[in-house]
Structure 1
Amino acid sequence: MEDTTRLNESKLGTKKYWDDFYSVERVNFKENPEDTGECWFEDNGAEEGMVNFIVENLNEFNNKESSVIDLGTGNGHLLFELYENDFEANMLGVDYSAESVQFATDIAKAKEYPVKFTQADIFDSNWTPGEFDIVADKGTLDAIALSGLTVGENNQSVVEVYHSVIEKILKKNGTFLITSCNFTEEELIRIITKGQLAVSETIEYPVFEFGGVKGSTICSVAFVKK
């Protein structure tokens, strides 16, 4: 059976692309402090869906003793939205693009948001940020899958080992929430549930129908660590 989780390589999977992209975003922000960059999946309501899911379904983590990490944070928009919705957990955004991290940090300082950002390669075995109650991914696995990169002695694709990264940084009974436009719900479940993670819930989005086939342009799935 063909492995549909293997995507063709693209510049969207390269660090250089995102460094260049966020370098331009930083310039735009300096010229106009109201321009905080692009909100990925805004047209689909995915970020709003993720924020609502966290606020409404994960309220036990809405306190200053809890923690959230956003993988591939970009401009930090997801975490800022959580903060603006009165979510009080400690928030950390991680990205392998230095320009992304600096851009998000600039926004946080300008708006006086207590959200921190750091640059990291999440596939580096030496990366040990600790464990978090909530791990979020909004389109990051999509970009990672386009890199063509492999890791470890067995040269496994980054998609194959992604679940192990989540397991390392997610607390027991914690929630991993991911949104994708490149993978179907079934593919995400197959990628993530290889070890300690099990499906918890899904977020429903508007469904389109074409040629008798129904579907959605994006999907969001929540997993819990057993």
Structure 2
Amino acid sequence: MEDTTKLNTSKLGTKEYWDNFYSVEKQNFEENSEDTGECWFADSDAEEKMVEFLLDNLGEYKIQDNCSMIDLGTGNGHLLFSLLEEGFKGALLGVDYSEKSVEFATEILDNKYSESENVKFVAADIFSEQWTPGEFDVVLDKGTLDAIALSGITFQDNKTVVDVYPKVIEKILGQNGVLLITSCNFTEDELIKIIETDSLKKWKSINYPVFEFGGMKGATICSVAFVKTSTK
């Protein structure tokens, strides 16, 4: 049976593409401070639904208004800024392998949220063994696995970024912590197949409008929450 979690490579999986993309967005922001860049999956209200999910599940596992969160592939930082505006006051860290992304998000932070001391952006390769950011209560991913799955990068034993992604999550997610991931390239079943391990288990998913075509039902996007049930 064909493994549908294996995607073809694309320029969308390259650091060069995103450096160029965020260089342009940074320039646009400097010319118009109201232009804070593109909000990914805005047509599906994914960001709003992710924030709403966290608000609706306050008190569950380690989701608190003062919990620590890390946003993988933070881009322009829009998701973290939305959480900040909704009253989350724990440490919020955005990481991206594109230095231009981090420069752009930091510039927005300095210009629009200068009084917020709990938000920080850093450039990092999340697959590097030298990357040790510590453990977080909540890990967020809005389209990042989608993008890096297109990179074609392989590691030891010919493992892909999709293969090693769960290990990255286990490394940075504290026990009883929550991973909330949104994808347009993978179905919910595929995300479960990719991410579930002995210690990472599906918890809940977010509902999106369902379409029907040719007798088949589906959604254009999915968001799934996983819980780290043990430290193994």
**TM-score, normalised to structure 2's length?**
0.94
Write the deviation string for residues 59-91 of structure 1: whole angstroms up to 9, x where unpaired: 464344x20000000000000000001111210
Q: Where does residue 175 of structure 2 map in the other structure?
A: 172
**How far did residue 20 of structure 1 move?**
0.1
Determine the structure 2 residue equivalent to 1:218: 221
Distance 1:141 1:58 in 2: 25
Alignment partners' CA distance in 1, 2:166 and 2:64: 25
Shift in Å at residue 194 of structure 1?
2.5
Letter of the structure 2 residue corresponding to residue 116 of structure 1: K
Q: What is the match of residue 78 of structure 2? A: 77
Unpaired segments ≥5 residues, structure 2: none
- What amino acid sits opposite 2:2 in the alignment? E
Aligned partner (choices 115, 128, 131) of residue 127 of structure 1: 131
CA RMSD after TM alignment: 1.0
Using the size of structure 1 for normalisation, the TM-score is: 0.97
- Match for residue 94 of structure 2? 93
Residue 117 (1) aligns with residue 121 (2) = yes
Seq. identity, %: 66
Displacement of 1:5 in angstroms is: 0.5
1:189-220 CA deviation, whole Å, 9 max, x = no partner?
A: 00000331000000000111111111100000
| 1:12 maps onto 2:12 in alignment | yes
1:92 partner amino acid: L
Secondary structure, aligned partner of 2:157 = coil
1:194 counterpart residue number: 197
Cα distance in structure 2, aligned partners of 1:159 and 1:36: 30
Aligned match of 1:184 in 179, 184, 187? 187
Give, in whole Å, the separation in 2 of the partners of 1:76 and 1:207: 28
Q: Which of 130, 144, 154 is the equivalent residue of 1:150? A: 154
